[in-house]
Amino acid sequence: GQNIDQPTEMTATEGAIVQINCTYQTSGFNGLFWYQQHAGEAPTFLSYNVLDGLEEKGRFSSFLSRSKGYSYLLLKELQMKDSASYLCAVLDSNYQLIWGAGTKLIIKP
Amino acid sequence: ETGVTQTPRHLVMGMTNKKSLKCEQHLGHNAMYWYKQSAKKPLELMFVYSLEERVENNIVPSRFSPECPNSSHLFLHLHTLQPEDSALYLCASSEKGTGEPGELFFGEGSRLTVL
């Protein structure tokens, strides 16, 4: 079967750095997405990786290793507004999105 | 208005009621989706419409009935629901090409409670 694993919850301190991991086992791979979802709000697109390596976008970076079936989302200089759930999703060989259950990130002052 | 809007934001219904969820997208996209989001579970794709035709119908109980009258509007008709159907129902749209679905734009969801 297809599976996406990410931690259920993480806690970090304002101003620090946090890394949210995502491992996947899917039938084929056509890219990996990260979405951010604040409580009671719509998920919003953060990043898309299809090639190995690190993609940086401001305070957020996303890394992909296809050989290891692994990605992480790196958040730097954490702010209270970064408290949210972070959803990892993989596009399989049929271009179907397989979703993880999301990681709830709690930022403490 | 911009983006994807969903109404109502909150809905409480009994198991014998009939109600509908509405979604409207103002992005000019050609594909629309219904997802179910339950606490601590992955998003579950329910229905996909591309160019107003249903192209995917995952194993969803018949008590959920989608309708896509045009490329900007999507409905989810609900009848004789069960308490386990209580969840957040998210609508999304994208520009679907021949391959990848592209970035999804989500609405804020309709929080459904079935008593």
Please report the pLDDT score of residue A31 as a whole number. Answer: 94
Question: What is the reported pLDDT for B5?
Answer: 96
Could you read off the pLDDT of A28-66 as tens digits, one per residue?
999 999 999 999 899 999 999 999 999 999 999 999 999
Considering chain A, what percentage of its residues have pLDDT values greater than 90? 94
The H or E element spanning position B7 is: strand B4-7
Asked if the C-beta of B53 comes within 8 angstroms of chain A's C-beta atoms, the answer is no
Kindly state whether B1 is in contact with chain A, defined as any CB-CB distance less than 8 angstroms: no
More confident residue, A15 or B54: A15
pLDDT at residue B58 in the model: 74
Neighbours of B66 (CB within 10 A): 19
Mean predicted confidence (pLDDT) in A77-81? 98
Helix H, strand E, coil C: the string for B21-81 is EEEEECCCCCEEEEEEECCCCCCEEEEEEECCEEEEECCCCCCEEEEEEECCEEEEEEECC
**CB burial of residue B100 (10 Å; 0-12, 13-18, 19+):** middle
Tokens of A71: 């990605």
Taking residues B37-44, what's their average pLDDT?
Answer: 93
Whether B28 has a pLDDT exceeding 80, the answer reads yes
- Identify the pLDDT of residue B101: 59
pLDDT at B98: 58
**At A2, is the pLDDT very low, low, confident or very high (cuts 50, 70, 90)?**
confident
Strands, E assignment, A38-102: 44-49, 53-57, 60-65, 70-75, 84-91, 97-99
Give the A-side interface with B, CB within 8 Å: 4, 8, 30-31, 33, 35, 40-45, 48, 87, 89, 91, 95-102
From the list B42, B100, B106, the residue facing A99 with the nearest CB is B42
Task: Please indicate whether, in this complex, the C-beta atoms of B42 and A42 are within 8 angstroms of each other.
Answer: no
Confidence tier at B100 by pLDDT (50, 70, 90): low
Contact B99 A97 (CB under 8 A): no
User: How far does CA A61 lie from the centroid of its chain?
Assistant: 10
Give chain A positions within 8 Å (CB) of B41: 101
Query: What does the pLDDT read at residue B57?
Result: 74
- The predicted model gives B18-43 an average pLDDT of 94
Give the per-residue pLDDT at B15: 87
Look over chain A and give the mean of its residue pLDDT values, rounded to a whole number. Answer: 96
pLDDT digits (tens, 9 = 90+) for A7-16: 999 999 999 9
**Is A102's CB within 8 Å of B42's CB?**
yes
Res. B97: pLDDT tops 70: no
